[in-house]
Amino acid sequence: MRVLITAGGSGIGFAMGQAFAEAGAQVWVTDLDVRSVPDGWRSSTVEVSSESAMAALFQEVETTWGGLDVLCANAGIAGPTAAVEDVALEDWKACVSVNLEGAFLAAKYAAPLMKRQGSGAIVLTSSTAGIYGYPNRAPYAAAKWGVIGLMKTLAMELGPHGIRANAICPGAVEGSRMEGVLAREAAAKGMTRDQVYEGYAKGTSMRSFVEARDVANMAVFLGSDAARLVSGQVIAVDGHTENPDPKL
């Protein structure tokens, strides 16, 4: 299995790489700054919102591997935390560019490779914000809703070619990026970081944050033959969100 993961240098993407490698896959990760990866992995420094960079990446993938079995379009940024009237257009564009346009470009250049071999799986990383929305996160939520729309379209368009597409919607994932979200949200709401953290956890049925490995395990399943007829699905890995914006 040949697997390409965008934003695979850390966080969820790195966990995906580890999980696929453990399943016996060949792993290729991209990121803005890939400093070190495990032995046996391939890596590229790529800006996912640059079409020329993405075109060159997929050309290299085709030349090196001859095709692609699984694309995990995982690149994303948190974007600003602010009331909609306070969001700068530049911040909106930056968030949508990475989260949505990056996924589009990855799918655009993966599709021809998969069509030629008559098979493939595309796994897009969305978010529970792409299901419910989220106050003070307009750019991020809009982009992640867009990712789900893109996935649904890919599933319909590429299904006749033997290609599946699904979206994973992680909830609050432990890690440095989430710590930044907690800090910005605490400042915006006049709360402490711990209060915001507790609010997120209490907003789920399982009263828990998600680990990157939980999301990675779902990606491996969706990329495997065990999910051969799973396509067009929005799958939350979130401990079941009951309230996306709980107030303590």
183: Cβ contacts below 8 Å, ≥ 6 apart: 193
Active site (annotated) includes residue 197: no
Return the SS3 of 93. helix
- β strands within the chain, DSSP E: 2-5, 26-31, 42-45, 70-73, 120-125, 163-170, 234-237
- Give the span between the Cα atoms of 216 and 96, in whole angstroms: 23
Of the candidates 109, 134, 140, 200, the residue annotated as catalytic is 140
Residue indicated by tokens 């640059």: 50
Separation between Cα atoms, residue 155 and residue 152, nearest integer Å? 5
Residue 116 class from Cβ within 10 Å (0-12 exposed, 13-18 middle, 19+ buried)?
middle
As annotated, the active-site residues are 140
